[in-house]
Amino acid sequence: MKIVTRDALIDVPWKNGGGTTRNIAKGMSVDQVSWTVSRADVGQDGPFSDFKGLMRVLTVVSGGEMTLVAQDTSFHAVPWRPLAFDGGLKIHAQLQDGPLTDLNLMFDPVRCEGEVVTLTGPLLQERQRPDHGLLAYHVLAGQPAINAARLGIGDTVFCASSDAALKLSKEDALLEIRLTYRDQSDAIRLCIADL
């Protein structure tokens, strides 16, 4: 089990000045990225970067709501509700209630399948890691315990070789990130971002 605390993350300003990214981890297969997990502070309306070939699951973790406008469709991102879409869509973000922070899972659907769900307390449960893949948890509220380790808001834990024993009180909430590797992708390894 590996824990990445929110305080250890490094701010990387966007080139357009509209926000900041904090890389948390990625899954590497030889020299190719199979998935990434990051936090982003969105400070103003603007275009999303193009991640053609990747699926994206965006979850607003703090702040207000955001409308994501594409050519033929739009999505409404609200706090704590994961939103999945094609990373190659030309998206323009419109903030509804001021700045916000979101968590992004991006993954190559040829190499793995990714899913993000919100879990709230009270909850006492053992969650099984995929046979080929990993579980990760990102804390939204409170101080939940995972495998007896107490975590804080914005912390992320990766369970790459063990299941996860969750203990959430009624004030606790977290995102569960489940990555299941396809048969040909067993060699994907967890790489924590440079901290």
pLDDT digits (tens, 9 = 90+) for 95-110: 999 999 999 999 999 9
Could you tell me which of 2, 23, 27 has the C-alpha nearest to residue 187? Answer: 27
Residue type, position 30, single letter: V
User: 82 versus 43: which is more confidently predicted?
Assistant: 82
DSSP states of 116-136: EEEEESSEEEEEPPPSSEEEE
Looking at 27-31, 63-67, 149-153, which range is the least confident one? Answer: 27-31
Mean pLDDT computed over 178-191:
81
Residue 37 in this model has a pLDDT that exceeds 80: yes
Residue 186 in this model has a pLDDT that exceeds 70: no
Give the whole-angstrom CA distance, residue 89 versus residue 92.
9
Q: 57 pLDDT band (50/70/90 cuts)? A: very high
Q: 155 pLDDT band (50/70/90 cuts)? A: very high
Question: Do residues 116 and 177 lie in contact, with contact meaning Cβ atoms separated by under 8 Å?
Answer: yes
Question: Do residues 141 and 175 lie in contact, with contact meaning Cβ atoms separated by under 8 Å?
Answer: no
Looking at 13-17, 148-152, 178-182, 188-192, which range is the least confident one? Answer: 13-17
Q: 170 pLDDT band (50/70/90 cuts)? A: very high
In the chain, % of residues over pLDDT 70: 96
Please give the pLDDT value at position 193. 83
